[in-house]
Amino acid sequence: MSLELTFNPDIQLTEMMRLRAQSLQQRGQKGQEGERLLRPSEHVYRLDFSEQALHFTRWNIRIPTPGRLNIIATSQLWTPDLTHLMTRQLLEPTGLFWKSADDDVIQCYEADAQEFGERIAELAKVRKVMYFLFAFEDGLTPESIECSIEFQTSE
């Protein structure tokens, strides 16, 4: 059976992380060693798993205008209500998707996108929620994209 999960913006968490970066900047301080501060073009998204036994099938990305979307997953160790996001908690590879002005097809690095989807399916076995940083580049905005991931469920 197929299961499509939509990435949902976590507006409250994005705002909390922006306030942290802004507060440090205003005081002329840096984050903790290894802390990953949210950049202005980044937003936090979450994926809620209704099933745990999943096999990655495909990405469903809709980008209506030229631009780039980089999706960076966080590992299962990050608990955003209790800890700051540390650089070592970001997973490789990332999902990089783009659309150029002279092409209507959304491009990606196929092998990385495949491995990234498979890693998400692996983490779903031990997680009910996963957090992601979406970096919007070259004119893309959160309002302009739709993003979901499709899995096969094992029954």
pLDDT tens-digit map of 19-32 = 999 999 999 998 89
Right CATH number for 2-153 from 2.60.120.390, 1.10.10.10, 2.30.30.830, 3.30.70.1710?
2.60.120.390
Asked whether residue 132 carries a pLDDT value surpassing 90, the answer given is yes
Domain ranges of the chain: 2-153
Q: Name the DSSP letter for residue 90.
A: B
Q: Using an 8 Å Cβ cutoff, are 48 and 129 in contact?
A: yes
Q: Annotate 96-134 with b (16+ C-beta within 10 A) or e (fewer).
A: bbbbeeeeeeeebeeeebbebbebbbebbeebeebbbbb
Q: What percent of the chain has pLDDT over 70?
A: 99
Neighbouring-strand partners of residue 135:
42, 70
Asked whether residue 54 carries a pLDDT value surpassing 80, the answer given is yes
